[in-house]
Amino acid sequence: MKRQIRRIWRRSPAALLREAALRLFLTGLTLAVLFLFLIPMAYGVVTGLKTGYQIAQSDAPWWPASVETITYEGKEYEVYYVPIDGKEKPMALYKKGRKASLLLDPENLEAGPIEWQGNWRSLKRVWRFDPQWQNFVAVWETIDFPLLLKNTLMFAGITTIGAVLSAALVAYGFARFRIPGKNVLFMVMLSTVILPGAITLIPTYYIWLRIGWVGTWKPLIIPAFFSWGTNVFLLRQFFLGIPRELDEAAMIDGASPLRIFISIILPNAKPALTAVALFHFFWAWNEFFGPLIYLAGHPEKFPITVGLTQFNNLYSQSAHLIQAASLMSAALPLVVFFFAQRVFMQGVVITGVEK
Amino acid sequence: MPRVPWPFRKRSRKAPRRKWGRLERKEALWGLGFLSPWLIGFLLFYLFPIIASFGFSLFDFNPAVPDQARFIGWTNWRYALFKDPEVWLSLKRTLHFAVISLPISLGFALFLALLLNSKYVLGKSVYRTLFYMPTMIPLVATVLIWNGVLNEQTGWINVLIEKVLGIEATGVNGIRWLADPDLVYYAYTMFGLWGIGNPMIVFLAGLQGVPTELYEAAELDGANWFRKLIHITIPMITPVIFYQLVLGVIGALQYFLAPFVLNGGTGFPEGKTRFFMIYFYKQAFSFFNMGYAATLAWILFIIALVLTVILFGTARYWVYYTAEERA
C-alpha cells in the first residue's frame, strides 16, 4: 500500500488526471454496455407484470399500471387529468361529449356530475402503479408449471448423475492408463463433440421407435450414461494434474485400479466433478431438440423448454403471459448460478483454454 | 534399464519400444475397462448410427410404414444435391447467417473480455457475473424475451432508438426487426448475444495468458493502446479465436431453436429463416421422409467436416502458437 502511495505521488498530475479520466470512461462504457445488455431482462420483468389491456394501449406508461377508476352509483368511471383553473386535476369522466363532458370530482362525489367545456379526447388518463403479480399465478396454473418443473428436474438430475459417473470413469481411463491407440481414441472422442449430431438422429430414432420407447424419456436419459466428450475432456485434464505418487502409494498397498479410482482420484477431484455436474445440469435444463422429437404428442412429459414453446404457440398474443412464463423458466437456473458462479466460470476456462 | 511395472514407470521417449508383456496387457485391459462406457456409447450411439444413416439414405423410408421401404439407391442423393432447390437455398441462408452473426458475436465477446481485462475498469468481477448470467437462461426463454423486446410497437429497443437517436423506430414505419427480411438475421444475432458469456470467459482467460513482458517491451518502444492491441494482444490470442471460430461455425450450421420457436419453421419473413436444420426437421418429423432426411444429415456432416478441415488448414497462416502451446 505504501509503495502504491509513493508511486502515485511520483507521477505527474497530468498522468493522474489521464488515468482518472480513463477509469471513468472505461468503467462508464462497461456500465453502459451492461445496461443495454440487460435491458431485455428488465423488459421481461416489467412486461410480465402488466395486464394485456395495458400492453395494447398506446397512452400507457412503460411501467406496470392500470387506469385509475372510481365507482359512482355502482358503475366504474375512468379518471383523467383535466385542466381546471390552470392545474391538472384528476377527474372521472362521467359522460363523454365532443364539445362538453360531464365530470365527477373524486374528492367531492356528492356534488354530482360537473360540466366541463372541452374535448375529452385531448385528456390523458391517470394510470397508477399496479403490478399484476397474479400473471405469474395464472401462468403457473395454465402451463402446469409444477409438472414441467418435475419433468425437467428429473431429467436434469438423473442425467447429471449418469454423466458425471461415466465421464469420470472414462477420464480416468484416458488419464492413467497406457492403451494402444489412446491418442487416436481421444481425438475421435473430441471430433464427435464438434461434428453435427444430426447424422446419428434418424437411425437412433428409428431404433427407439421399434423398441417402443419413443414417447418416453428413456431415449434421452440412457445416452447420458455413456459419457459426453466435453465432460471427459475436462475431467481428464484435471485427473492428469493429480500426482501419480498418490496412485503409486496405493498400489504398493495392493489397491486395484478401481479402488484407486474410488478412494484417491474421486475425492481429489471434487471441484472438477462439481463443475461437470453443474455444466451438465444446465445443459439438461436447456435441452430442447431431444425432448421435442422424442416426447412429441405427450405434453404430460414435456420439460420446461418444450412446454414454454407450446405455451407460446397458444398464447403468443398475450405478451405479458409469455414474458412471465419465460421469467419463471429462467428462475431456477439463475438461482443455482448465483450460488455456483465461481465453480462455473472456472470450468469454462479449463475446457476452453486447454484447447 | 529393468522393466518396472505400472504405475511406477514413466517411459522416456528415448527408450526402445518393448514387447507387450503381461503387465502392459493388464494395464491396457484395465484402461479399456474404464473407457468402456464411452467405447460402447460410441459404437452404439455414434458409429453404428452414422453407418446406418448412410444405409437409410439409400432407401425411400417412412417409419410409420417400414415394410413399404424401397431401395432407391442414389436417388435421394441426386435429388438433394441437384434437384431440390431448398437444400442449397437453406444452406446458403445458414451460411449467410453465420457470416453475419459470428463476427458480431465473437467481436462482442472479445470486446467485453478486453474491457473486463482492463486495469482501468472498477468492479470487474461483478460485471463478469452479470454478463455471464444470461447464458443460464434457457434458450427458449431468451428467444421469447428478446422477441418481446424487439417488438416494433412496444419493444424497448425501438423506443430507446427513437428517444436516443431520433430515428423513427416505433410505429408502422418503424424498424421491424423480426419481420424485415434484411434485418431478421441481425435480430437473431442479438438473441445470440445473450449467450456471449462462455466465449467471453474463454477470451478473458486467453487475454490473461498473454505475457506482460510483451506489453512492457512495446511500451518501451512507445506503442499506444491501439498498436498493442493489434500487434500483441490479438496475435497472442489467435488460438482462442480459432477455437471459438470452429465451434461457432459448427454451431451455426445446426441453428434451429430460434426460428423454430418463433415461426414453427415457416421461415418467416419471406423464407429467410428456413435454415438447413429446419428443413431437416421438416423432412424427418413432419413429412416422415426419413431416407431423405438421412441424406440431408449426411450432407450437413460432410459440409461440417470440410469446413473444419479448411479452418484447420488455414490455421497455419494466422494462428500463432507459442512454444509451450505447440504440443
CB B199 within 8 A of CB B109: yes
At residue B169, the pLDDT reads 67
Can you list the positions of beta strands (E) in A234-313? Answer: none
Tell me which residue has cell 512454444. B323
CB A104 within 8 A of CB A114: yes
Tell me whether the omega of the peptide bond preceding residue B7 falls within 30 degrees of 0, making it cis: yes
Which among B46, B159, B294 has the least Cβ separation from residue A202? B294
Q: What is the mean pLDDT of residues A63-75?
A: 82
Tell me which residue has cell 434451429. B256
Are residues B127 and A34, on separate chains, in Cβ contact within 8 Å?
A: yes
Q: What is the mean pLDDT of residues A73-83?
A: 81
- Outline where B254-289 has alpha helix (H): 257-263, 276-281
CB within 8 Å of B11: residues ≥ 6 apart: none
**Which range (A205-219, A292-306, B266-280) has the least confidence?**
B266-280
Are residues B256 and A289, on separate chains, in Cβ contact within 8 Å?
A: yes
Residue B325 banded pLDDT, cuts 50, 70, 90: very low
Among A47, A199, A205, A351, the residue to mutate for chain B (most B Cβ within 10 A)? A199
Q: What nine digits make up the cell of B232?
A: 500483441
- The CA–CA distances, whole Å, from B29 to A77, A142, A178 equal 84, 55, 9
Distance CA A115, CA A117 (A): 7
Q: What are the percentages of helix, strand and coil residues in chain B, rounded to 5?
A: 65, 0, 30
Q: Which helix (H) or strand (E) element contains residue A72?
A: strand A69-72
Q: What is the DSSP string of A76-103?
A: EEEEEEEEETTEEEEEEEEE--SSEEEE
At residue A266, the pLDDT reads 84
pLDDT > 70 in chain A, percent: 95
CB within 8 Å of B27: residues ≥ 6 apart: A177, A178, A179, B6
Give the single-character DSSP code of A299.
G
Tell how strand B70-71 and strand B59-60 pair up: antiparallel
Q: ipTM of the assembly?
A: 0.84
Residue B135 φ/ψ region, left for φ over 0, alpha for ψ in the -120 to 50 degree band, beta for the rest: alpha
CB B118 within 8 A of CB B207: no
Q: What is the mean pLDDT of residues B203-219?
A: 87
- The CA–CA distances, whole Å, from A316 to A131, A324, A337, B186, B301 equal 21, 12, 29, 22, 35
At residue B2, the pLDDT reads 57
Residue A159 banded pLDDT, cuts 50, 70, 90: very high
| B204 burial level (CB within 10 Å; 0-12, 13-18, 19+) | buried
The whole-chain average pLDDT of chain B stands at: 84
CB A43 within 8 A of CB A60: no
Tell me whether the omega of the peptide bond preceding residue B239 falls within 30 degrees of 0, making it cis: no
Distance CA A280, CA A155 (A): 11
Alpha carbon B93 to its chain's center: 16
Instruction: State the smallest CA–CA distance between residue B266 and chain A in angstroms.
Output: 13
B260-298 pLDDT tens trace: 988 887 877 778 888 999 999 999 888 888 889 999 999
Q: What is the DSSP string of A193-238?
A: HHS-GGGGHHHHHHHHHHHT-BTBSHHHHGGGGG--HHHHHHHHHH
CB contacts < 8 Å between A and B, how many? 279
Residue A112 φ/ψ region, left for φ over 0, alpha for ψ in the -120 to 50 degree band, beta for the rest: left
Residue B12 banded pLDDT, cuts 50, 70, 90: low
Are residues B144 and A330, on separate chains, in Cβ contact within 8 Å?
A: no
Count CA atoms closer than 13 A to B218's CA, side-chain side. Answer: 16
Q: What nine digits make up the cell of B228?
A: 498493442
* Cα dihedral A184, A186, A192, A194 in deg (nearest 10): -110
Q: What is the mean pLDDT of residues B241-256?
A: 91
Q: What are phi and psi of A119, to 5 degrees?
A: -85, 120
The 3-state DSSP class for residue A114 equals strand
Are residues B37 and A203, on separate chains, in Cβ contact within 8 Å?
A: no
Among B87, B129, B144, the residue to mutate for chain A (most A Cβ within 10 A)? B144
Tell me which residue has cell 472498477. B122
Instruction: State the smallest CA–CA distance between residue B35 and chain A in angstroms.
Output: 4
For residue B263, what is the nearest residue in chain A, using CA coordinates? A313
Q: Which residue has the higher pLDDT, A203 or B6?
A: A203
Give the single-character DSSP code of A132.
-
Residue A329 clears pLDDT 80, i.e. is over it = yes
Helix crossing, B85-117 with A13-48: angle to 10°? 130
pTM equals: 0.84
CB within 8 Å of B143: residues ≥ 6 apart: B191, B257, B258, B261, B262
